[in-house]
Amino acid sequence: MPSTLLVLALTLAWTTTIVLGKRVRNTEPNRISVMGDFNHEMSYPRFAEPIPNVTVTVGRDALLTCVVDNLRGFKVAWVRVDTQTILSIHHNVITQNPRISLSYNDHRSWYLHIKNVQQADRGWYMCQVNTDPMRSRQGYLQVVVPPSIIDRETSSDMVVLESTNVSLTCKATGFPEPYVMWRREDGEDIRYNGENVNVVDGEILFITKVSRLHMAVYLCIASNGIPPSISKRVQLRVQFPPMLSIPNQLEGAYIGQDVALECHTEAFPTSINYWTTERGDMIVSGDKYEAVSMESGYKKYMMLKIRSVSVSDFGSYKCVAKNSLGETDGVIKLEEIPAPTTIRTTTQFLTVASRKKGRTWGERHERGDSNENRVVGDKNREHLEYGYDDEYTLPSIAPPPIHEDPGAFSSGSRSLIHRLLTLLVVLGLVTLNRR
């Protein structure tokens, strides 16, 4: 109770002094007036520096500073300008706002603390000294707010029919007012107003005659220079009946070959895909057939593998795609083609060895006494040049070598037999070469 009375008394005294702009004077005779001390400007309190403007993010703490020199017996007060609310008088906090506190230093620096700053705290604050006339300085507290998206006013995931118009809306709040833009989450361009763009500015993304190419996740991004920026995902699904394309409508295979038939489909909602024979029987994967399906978004790849094709496998095959909006199919015809033939080529090689390296048949016979042998050797020199490392082996067309018993033939007979055998070998080689 005493503290409440003190606050009321201080407030009343300050209001009387500052708001009314008057001070009580001593009119008794023979007394020196207190106001006489104010006649000299230097005796007045003065502000050592202006009150700096402060910018703070909502939810953080703010600090306003007022520095007064030569304060002497005067008092300092903090006032909220727009509401004319007295926040503090000298050492006492007047306001009932629990987030506001006061500190001071050396009877010169006076600090106004505001905790957990709210947008309502934005505005001008005045530091007053109760002189006559009153002296004051003002500082501005700017409260900035990071952007946030207003969910109730922003589009959620949408499903639309192809060729209709669609509008995506994004509402954001913050201070300063946020800037809003749209882009695709996958980074691809947006087909917008007849051209491809990466970003669409503004709160509304309006697409005319939407197509399956617009099917994607879109990001609404709001930013105002106060971190962090914020975004919201909006998924756009476009419904359309199945469409089908076949790379090769005519395939060929020979008996015993493995063959693959391919089909591509597009549909949303996702289609049911399968293969049938020309009789309309659904094909199930097994030892003979293998049906493969791979999905990527609204696209599907179908492949039918037929193992070890037989005569009964030739004919027409159908790939079918169905969803709630319709169905489609395509036919692939499998025809028989001749099996490839294999031609084998056999090459015969004649290998002749010599006792010495780098010697040809021609050179070996040139060393003999027979002119006939020399001529034959010259004719075959260019065809019978080989390098040899081991002892020579007679060709298979030549007679086997004769092993003589010691003393069976004279040296002259052995020489004659050797020449005859050599001649037969050379004649055989020439005959083979002409063939």
* Alpha-carbon separation of residue 264 from 80, 241, 303, 325, 328 (angstroms): 72, 14, 9, 18, 12
Domain definitions of the chain by residue range: 44-144, 150-239, 246-336
The amino acid sitting at 363 is E
| Arithmetic mean of pLDDT, 217-241 | 97
> What dotted CATH number matches 246-336?
2.60.40.10
pTM greater than 0.75: no
Q: How confident is the model at residue 433 (pLDDT cuts 50, 70, 90)?
A: low
> Tokens 């953080």 — which residue?
60
- Is 192:269 a contact under the CB 8 Å cutoff? no
Name the CATH code of domain 44-144 (choices 2.60.40.10, 1.10.443.10, 3.40.190.10, 2.40.10.10): 2.60.40.10
Q: Above 50 in pLDDT, residue 387?
A: no
Query: Would 44-144 and 246-336 be classified into the same CATH topology?
Result: yes
**Which secondary structure element, helix H or strand E, spans residue 105, and what is its range?**
strand 100-105
Q: How far apart are CA 270 and CA 240, in angstroms?
A: 10
Q: How far apart are CA 175 and CA 226, in angstroms?
A: 8
Q: pLDDT tens, 92-108?
A: 999 999 999 999 998 89
| Arithmetic mean of pLDDT, 414-431 | 74
- Is 316:278 a contact under the CB 8 Å cutoff? yes
Question: Which of 3-12, 27-36, 405-414 ranks highest by mean pLDDT?
Answer: 405-414
Residues sharing a CB contact under 8 Å with residue 155, sequence separation 6 or more, in sequence order: 167, 168, 169, 170, 220, 234
Give the CATH H-level superfamily of domain 150-239: Immunoglobulins (2.60.40.10)
> Tokens 């008394």 — which residue?
9
422: phi then psi, degrees, rounded to nearest 5: -65, -45
Helix (H, G, I), strand (E, B) or coil at 383: coil
